[in-house]
Amino acid sequence: MCRWLAYSGTPLPLEALLYKPKHSLIDQSLHAKLGPNTTNGDGFGVGWYGDDDDPALYKGVDPAWNDQNLREISRQVQSHLIFAHIRASTGSPVQYTNCHPFRHGKWLWMHNGQIANFGLVKRDLTLAIAPDLYPFVKGSSDTETFFFLALTFGLEDDPPLGVERAVGFIEQVCRRAGIDHPVRMSVAVSNGLDVWAFRYSSEGQPPTLYFSTKVSTLREQHPEIPAFQALSDESRMVVSEPLGDLEGAWNELPASSYGVVKLGPDNLKQFTPRND
Amino acid sequence: MCRWLAYSGTPLPLEALLYKPKHSLIDQSLHAKLGPNTTNGDGFGVGWYGDDDDPALYKGVDPAWNDQNLREISRQVQSHLIFAHIRASTGSPVQYTNCHPFRHGKWLWMHNGQIANFGLVKRDLTLAIAPDLYPFVKGSSDTETFFFLALTFGLEDDPPLGVERAVGFIEQVCRRAGIDHPVRMSVAVSNGLDVWAFRYSSEGQPPTLYFSTKVSTLREQHPEIPAFQALSDESRMVVSEPLGDLEGAWNELPASSYGVVKLGPDNLKQFTPRND
Amino acid sequence: MCRWLAYSGTPLPLEALLYKPKHSLIDQSLHAKLGPNTTNGDGFGVGWYGDDDDPALYKGVDPAWNDQNLREISRQVQSHLIFAHIRASTGSPVQYTNCHPFRHGKWLWMHNGQIANFGLVKRDLTLAIAPDLYPFVKGSSDTETFFFLALTFGLEDDPPLGVERAVGFIEQVCRRAGIDHPVRMSVAVSNGLDVWAFRYSSEGQPPTLYFSTKVSTLREQHPEIPAFQALSDESRMVVSEPLGDLEGAWNELPASSYGVVKLGPDNLKQFTPRND
Amino acid sequence: MCRWLAYSGTPLPLEALLYKPKHSLIDQSLHAKLGPNTTNGDGFGVGWYGDDDDPALYKGVDPAWNDQNLREISRQVQSHLIFAHIRASTGSPVQYTNCHPFRHGKWLWMHNGQIANFGLVKRDLTLAIAPDLYPFVKGSSDTETFFFLALTFGLEDDPPLGVERAVGFIEQVCRRAGIDHPVRMSVAVSNGLDVWAFRYSSEGQPPTLYFSTKVSTLREQHPEIPAFQALSDESRMVVSEPLGDLEGAWNELPASSYGVVKLGPDNLKQFTPRND
């Protein structure tokens, strides 16, 4: 299980999200409250959109709390659309190529949760990745396989549909292999304009996921973060765990749903895995 | 604050201490119970005595729980005298040269605790290291400075006296600099034959420290560890935290005392910092 | 291109092979003479057989010349059968899971050379790995794929046949994909008893490969290495580059051949890729 | 011995200096031509000035040619004043705290060369660092000690004087300790506005150092680097090795001299160690 954060809105330096809040993502790397692991020390990653279409990445295999370079870069880099992730491995090795977020062209993808018994179905899932996408798979994690399945199933044309079909397919393959509870997930994906955030579990409760609601409340709750005072009302965060006190600022995303952060009013829709 | 373990007795593979027990040192790296930090992920180290007089070291800067090589080496290396340490940094950088145990000639040294406000007194303490020892200082941690002060004050001739004088000196320098509560420590030191373990705090409670008592109880409590079944009655562990259930197998070392593990009956004595 | 060394014979500490010779493997990591790269700084690995059937591994992603732990372990570990490898990546990421030697059960495998345009054929080659072996593939390198193909094609029953069939298959898949010069290789493989060393190239000259011949000459050439003075006459090294002067001590393995190091007289045979 | 590059002028993305030129700094990390080592694989660092007064740092302990994050950051970060350094250690450990450039407040410092027999004089040199600066020393390298001596001797008020007095002092201490040829150096230092570059050796030839001269020639020689086409005529590079063909674009700095890159015409002056 991991922790992640997605941000879209008024350009912010990374540090305003990663270091400044009381229960910041870096703090969560040592003291997560809502997941099964208090420690998320198996690597980390940040992705952000700058002047190019393609997002930039900075990833590391040491615990995020110890990375001097992350601290430096977080003061230098500003972006209007930021993904950040701290990892608690569910088995695959701690190496750059297994750190989130994953990137393909202009797309970023990150995940908290797992495909259960991944080793048992890895071959079948990997074979289902489109052959022209296959060479872009660099690591060995369930999350990267999931991402490339979503790409195979049409993520770039219709993100929710791509994810629903990928999850439907994974559930089918897993169940054929006798795996119960195949998928637990909170996933964020972006093309540099919009952000889609999914919360789902094949059975039982999915991992937690929260949307920031009123920016005015965030401003009040975090007087210690000057950058937050300048946030536009459209600015939005999606997080595994609230960065501070919950009340008034954060709404839980319901299970089996997804939200879209975009220009204009955001959407909240139902998420249903598909096998078509 | 860190966690550590010292072992002396029937030769054991490292894994019998590091991985096999339920609440092994590797488990403590993620789930420590008795210290201020549950996570000890800022590097680790193992030192052991083999055929040479000089001990061997294996240290790493990643969290111990992720180190594949440690897992391999722990199955290969056997020793009758083993030091192992997992680090939760109190400020100095996570780098090989700051990982415990520290070695000088045939001596090993490791530490849990800290010299308070070390930056404030580091220069004065460093200047007091004997000039012929100074070139052997490789890192920047309070622990290594402490070790070289103990060497300067006669550790090699009389370990308890060397440590008592080093602590007396550190307390003096710290108090002159206006630092309260200068020293908190549980320290282990060995010359390859005996092990000395110190527990002390300038004020308040020192870090926890336990001696294994009856080997027969250890054997009963750990039927899952075949290597433990062959332990001689003289075999002894000193640990920050018991490796399993406390009852019958572990005794707490009193504050302001030190124990000596050696051939024949072990000793427990009072520890008193000195300024002579 | 990489450099490697295989040793079988009188038990030696690793350091006698890795550090002591004038043109040792560690020296080759900075100053290789016979390959296309003078620097082999993209990770390293050592594998050795101890008391267990299964060999032990120590691998790292930093350059071998900088690894303090390798230096320590090389003084501690003795073995009668040692593989050591320094890597110059031909493209796949520098991560533990891509470092040689690779292990499966009691087998070790290492490689210098490459499968040309590996990205183009990786999917087809990967699909040909036996499904029950597939979950053991951990990295993304051409060498590991090659190893698991050889296992698929019967390496464990008949090593030369397994390698000949794997190479035949790889050449076939590559040529179908329009790749010229698909395979260049010097490969070592062992089951803990015998060592097989292969030298082959689909076209042109394969990577260099040398066998030690007279142990007496080795002893004379390396008076600085006490451990060499005790080598039995049966002791044998296979290396990418001689560890010292060539004359009298080293024989080049001919192209398209393989040698077997085993009890009794060694063999030199022809190597012919197969498609049966 | 190391390689380095300093740039001042029209804002450039780091990649235009680090990756794009034919004989870029990253290429020099594997294939240096003018130093004693062809490989500079013992860590690296980049420092640059952004919107803050204080420069930012990105450093790593792996070889620069393997660092994925450096590649990413180099496309994202633009600056008008850039320091970059690749290290070939002369003995001190490969760790973040020993990587160049070093920073103190708004100052950056990097170095190629060495203080001979540094271990012998390290204590005396360290004691001479001003006590209020001492706590900022984080590593164990000769270069960092040299930097803090220059700061102690007035670098911030008069950079050339601070360096001349530091070198005079180091030479004095070394000679008292019986060390010949104490200092070999090419040093760059900046406060964010100007860059000072020093070339000196106590005896014999100092390390190479080149200034870019005509920007128009640089533009012509590097049509493959679009960013170079926009360089102002004031833009200037100082490098250990030219990034491409020498003719017309690069001038060697004479031994025992220093250059100042600043608004208006640059200066070239004599460098003379002092003991006042």
For C178-208, give the DSSP string: T-SS-EEEEEEEE-SS-EEEEEEESSSPPPP
What are C172-202's pLDDT values in tens digits?
A: 999 999 999 999 999 999 999 999 999 999 9
Give the tens place of pLDDT for each residue, D187-215.
999 999 999 999 999 999 999 999 998 88
Q: Higher model confidence: residue A160 or residue A23?
A: A160
| CA angle at D208 for the pair D203 and D210, rounded to the nearest 5° | 135
pLDDT attached to residue A81: 97
pLDDT at position B27 is 85
* A113 three-state secondary structure: strand
Q: Does A140 touch chain C (CB under 8 A)?
A: yes
A179: which 2 tokens?
């795996």
Tell me which residue has tokens 């090659």. Answer: C146
The side-by-side arrangement of strands in the sheet containing C210-212 is: C56-60, C44-48, C78-86, C3-13, C236-239, C210-212, C250-252
Low-confidence spans in chain D with pLDDT less than 50: none
Given this model, what pLDDT does residue B269 score?
96
Contact D63, D44 (CB under 8 A): yes
Contact list, B60 vs chain C (CB under 8 Å): 69
Task: Find the CB nearest D50 among A56, A60, A76.
Answer: A76
With CB atoms and an 8 Å threshold, state whether B123 touches D138: no
B2 is annotated as an active-site residue? yes
pTM (whole model) above 0.90? yes
Per-residue pLDDT tens digits for A134-149: 999 999 999 999 999 9
CB pairs under 8 A between B and C: 36
Residue A246: its pLDDT value, please? 65
- The two beta strands, B3-13 and B78-86, are antiparallel
Q: Give the sign of the dihedral formed by CA B158, CA B162, CA B168, CA B171.
A: negative
CA-nearest of C253, C245, C270, C236 to C82 is: C236
The list of chain B residues with pLDDT below 50 reads none
How far off is chain B from C70, nearest CA to CA, in Å?
9
Residue B208: other Cβ atoms inside 10 A: 18
Predicted local distance difference test score (pLDDT) of residue B14: 95
Domains in chain B (CATH in brackets) are 3-270 (3.60.20.10)
Mean pLDDT calculated for residue range A50-69: 92
Min distance C230 CA to chain A CA atoms (Å): 41
Query: Measured between CB atoms, which of B39, B68, B93 is closest to A39?
Result: B39
Chain C residues with CB-CB distance to A127 below 8 A: 127
Summarize pLDDT for C78-101 with one digit per residue, the tens: 999 999 999 988 778 999 999 999
pLDDT of residue A1: 67
> What pLDDT sits at residue D1?
67
CA D16 to chain A, closest CA, distance in angstroms equals 16
pLDDT at C246 over 70: no
pLDDT band at A242 (very low <50, low <70, confident <90, very high): confident
Contacts of D72 in chain A (CB under 8 A): 56-58
What are residue D250's DSSP bridge partners? D212
% residues pLDDT > 70 (chain C): 99
- Contact status of A123 with chain C (Cβ, < 8 Å): yes
**Residue C151, φ and ψ in degrees, nearest 5:** -60, -45
Span C201-221, average pLDDT: 90
Each residue of C118-177: pLDDT tens digit? 999 999 999 999 999 999 999 999 999 999 999 999 999 999 999 999 999 999 999 999
For D114, residues 6+ apart whose C-beta sits below 8 A from its C-beta are D1, D90, D142, D184, D185
- Residue A139's SS3 state is coil
D50 touches chain B (CB under 8 A): no
CB-based contact (8 Å) between D216 and chain C?
A: no
Q: How confident is the model at residue C223 (pLDDT cuts 50, 70, 90)?
A: confident
Measured between beta carbons, which residues in chain B are less than 8 angstroms from residue D95?
Answer: 93, 95-97
Interval D148-183: pLDDT, tens: 999 999 999 999 999 999 999 999 999 999 999 999
